[in-house]
Amino acid sequence: MNIQVSIGQVKRDISELVNRVTYAGERIVLTSRGKPKAALVSMQDYERLLKSEDRAADIQKWLAETRVLSSKIEKRRGKPVDVDAILEASRNDLEAR
């Protein structure tokens, strides 16, 4: 549940708001002149956010590595090597023996 609280109220009620976030699981959006500026979340939510960012960074790294590897794939007669076709031919050859 997200609750919006003005920064002025935060100055007065920070202890109460931290307790609401910590113990009641609330997420509090801090506003200034009615516009969202920041959020107050539990450490559990914060750690989950950090893990999510780490996973996103890992995925981006994997994608970049995959693109590099893909560009290095050998070509035969100007066409990319069809690994699936090679595996299928190899399986067929083994079955025929």
Q: Are strands 2-6 and 27-32 parallel, antiparallel or unpaired?
A: parallel
The pLDDT score that the predictor gives to residue 7 is 87
**Do 28 and 58 belong together in one domain?**
no
**Do 95 and 53 belong together in one domain?**
yes
Paired tokens of 16: 């109460």
**Do 27 and 55 belong together in one domain?**
no
> What range does the domain containing 18 cover?
1-41
Specify the number of domains making up the chain: 2
Read off the pTM: 0.56
To which H or E segment does residue 17 belong? helix 7-24
pLDDT digits (tens, 9 = 90+) for 23-81: 999 999 999 999 999 999 999 999 998 999 989 988 988 888 888 877 777 666 667 77
- Beta strands (DSSP E) in 43-84 are 75-76, 79-80
The one-letter amino acid at 75: K
Residue written as token pair 């109460």: 16
The pLDDT score that the predictor gives to residue 13 is 92
**Do 34 and 75 belong together in one domain?**
no
